[in-house]
Amino acid sequence: MVCCYLQKLDQSVSPKAYNLDISLDGLKPFTGSQNAVARVKIYDLLCKIKTHHLQIPESVHHIMFSDSTIQLQSDLMALHHNVSNSLLLSSDAESLSIADCDRFVNEIVSHESHHETYFYLAANFNTLMSISLLQRPRMYLSHLSTCRPSRLTTESVLIISNAIRLCSGRLIASHTCSYS
């Protein structure tokens, strides 16, 4: 577990890090660490997103509709659904409320160990970052003249506007909760 955690942490910073083929399915948490497997899965998702972004997209259409982007979105939603609500700031990857921020602050204050507080904060901000990191290329499409709403299909406009909403929402959430 410790090796897998350290490897995923290293890969989340640099996808060129040494890669061991370790399955996350049968991991057992190390003693005294709550939600350790979830933390490893968050870092694993960050690694997958960063590796995905290393490939140059073939077209604007590919950025919005590629199978790999859709799969990463699905992985992100599954991670949010499967991770304990006590670990994540928001129980839903799509929305965030003031009540979530209040629960987040109370959770931080309740930790007796600085080590657990650090991991709780890191898991939350890395989850927020993964949402933003995944949606950022779609958000950037809004700056292209070829991606003006009048030139796009309704579905494409919704994808780009959703990416803008998610990225800006994650930024506001991280600032709101860090100053609460």
Are 23 and 34 in contact, with CB atoms under 8 Å apart? no
Q: In this predicted structure, what is the pLDDT of residue 179?
A: 45
Question: What are the tens digits of pLDDT across the range 152-167?
Answer: 899 999 999 988 888 8
pTM confidence score: 0.72
| Helix, strand, coil content of the chain in percent (nearest 5) | 70, 0, 30
Residue 3 has pLDDT above 90, yes or no: no
pLDDT for 180: 45
| Token output for 152 | 């796009």
Residues 164-171, mean pLDDT to the nearest whole number:
74
Do the beta carbons of residue 173 and residue 95 sit within 8 Å?
Answer: no
Contact call for residues 43 and 126 (beta carbons, < 8 A): yes
Q: Which positions ≥6 away from 161 have C-beta within 8 Å?
A: none
What confidence score (pLDDT) does residue 75 get? 92
- Give the model confidence (pLDDT) of 53-111 as tens digits: 888 999 999 999 999 999 999 998 888 777 766 666 665 555 666 777 777 777 777 77
